[in-house]
Structure 1
Amino acid sequence: MNKSTRIFITALAFISVNTFAAGDAAKGKAKSATCIACHGVNGNSMVPNFPKLAGQGEGYTFKQLQDFKAGNRKDALMAGIVAGLSTGDMANLAAYFAKQTITQGAASKTADIALGERLYRGGNRDRGVTACIACHGPKGAGIPSAGFPALASQHAAYITKQLKDFRQVSINVQTESTTPARDNDNRKMMIGLTKSLTNVEINALAQYISGLH
């Protein structure tokens, strides 16, 4: 375990997560009818560009829905969907999807799994890339109590896009660009982690994560 990973693990003890009243999964199931078109039955999307929601931490999903509604996470389609959701609706949806079981993912046979695993488990100390395992766990289950999402079996295409969107924040700063990016991560950890990743490394990581279970 490298020094950066140890620092991140130690930092977890000091991270506070906003708590909220647990949602009603039964009510969430009824409300989820509007989510099926993109996210699939029981939150298992069949479309690689749309994330699987099944089994995701309740607090994490709730925060993302809040962020979409507040404009802290940008997506035109989701902005329209969440516009009519109350705080209770979002909590209920989060509770419902948290209780579902995600379908097993699989990495591409041509993917550089060795590179993805090396980065996920060990990071890259020379370039300041922290190991993903520190926050997302050895099997990609995440740390729900700290707000770190589950990643295992997620679509590789979706993971790739999110990593590039986080990286784009740093690119925008360097180039004075306004290209759409994602910056709603916990304490900007993902922005710091992705700024040094190459496209090859991002693709390898996404494929490795998709095959975790």
Structure 2
Amino acid sequence: MKKLIAGFVFGVGLTAMAHGAGDPEAGKQSAAACQACHGQGGAKPIMGVYPKISGLGEKYMYNQLVAIQENARAIPEMTGQLDGKSKQDLQDLAAYFATQDMGVSQADPELVEKGAAVYRGGNMASGVPACAGCHNPRGKGNEPAGFPHLGGQNAEYLTKQLNAYRDGTRANGSNAAIMMDVASRLTDAEIEAVASYISGLN
């Protein structure tokens, strides 16, 4: 597993396309519809199962918008939201939201120790790698590799996504194989704890 991740990250590093191709100002002009559900600047979703889309990283955000538009990633609430938008429109939206700050949520104090252990050290016994290896010790992500900023994300949303990776209902994109393998090794308790921990990470 470690060799798979190391090889993938190395490969991404060699082939990463230049990012930052979007125009944040242009994206801001068309972001109002997104903010109806995701909040001002994408930082305050109206429901915990909706993601904060602020500060995720332009490359990651753009890839997800394309996947949603092309129905490679099915999200019922997003049906029709991206219809008629060009790839440049999506790049501009991604650039705008990448410039917005993701506020930190409140982690459950009772889950912090267990969540920190999984995030920072993984679980050697079950083969779970440390989340920090790809997503940064402070949850800042890895923009060139397209690994999203996670620190501060809603715990409810993170739990939903880890479960989706684990049961195979989220399987799109080049990073999905890694996340599906990682999630398949996580217990329910580990998912709950690490999601809570990440929500308060900055």
The TM-score normalised by the length of structure 2 is 0.91
2:161 aligned counterpart, secondary structure? helix
SS of structure 2 residue aligned to 1:127? coil
* Matched residue, 2:66: 66
- 1:14 maps to which of 11, 14, 17: 11
- 2:54 corresponds to 1:26: no
User: Would you say 1:188 and 2:185 are equivalent positions?
Assistant: no
Equivalent runs, 1:92-171 vs 2, <5 Å: 92-109=92-109, 111-169=110-168
- Report SS of the residue matched to 2:59: helix
1:56 aligns with 2:56: yes
- Kindly indicate whether the alpha-carbon contact (under 8 Å) linking 2:22 and 2:92 is maintained by their aligned counterparts in 1: yes
Equivalent position SS for 1:13: helix
Counterpart Cα distance in 2 of 1:153 and 1:6: 29
Per-residue deviation at 1:138? 0.3
Q: Which amino acid aligns with 1:147?
A: G
Partner of 1:80: 80
**How much does 1:78 deviate?**
1.2
Contact kept, 8 Å, 1:141 with 1:150, in 2: the verdict is yes
Q: CA RMSD in A?
A: 1.8
Distance 1:48 1:137, change over 3 A: same
Partner in structure 2 of residue 197 of structure 1? 186
For residues 21 and 138 of structure 1, the distance between their equivalents in structure 2, rounded to whole angstroms, comes to 23
Give the distance between the partners of 2:100 and 2:17, measured in 1 at CA.
Answer: 23
Pair 138,10 (structure 1): closer, same or farther in 2 beyond 3 Å: farther
| Cα displacement string for residues 92-133 of structure 1 (whole angstroms, at most 9, x for unaligned residues) | 100000111111221023x42111111111111221111101
1:63 maps to amino acid: N
Post-superposition Cα deviations, 1:167-193, rounded to whole Å, max 9, x if no partner, equal 011xxxxxxxxxxx1012415100000
Question: Contact conserved, 2:165 with 2:176, CA < 8 A, in 1?
Answer: no
Question: Percentage identity across aligned positions?
Answer: 39
Unpaired runs of 5+ residues, structure 1, are 170-180
How far the C-alpha of 1:18 sits from its partner, in A, is 4.8
Letter in 2 for 1:195: S
The size of the alignment, in residue pairs, is 198
Report the CA distance shift for 1:151/1:205 in structure 2 as closer, same or farther (over 3 A): same
* 8 Å contact kept, 1:23–1:94: yes
- Indicate the structure with greater helix content: 1
3-state secondary structure, aligned to 2:30: helix
Looking at structure 1, the residues matched to 3 and 140 of structure 2 have their Cα atoms a distance apart, in angstroms, of 19
* CA pair 21-132 structure 1, distance change in 2 beyond 3 A: closer
Change (3 A) 1:132 1:116: same
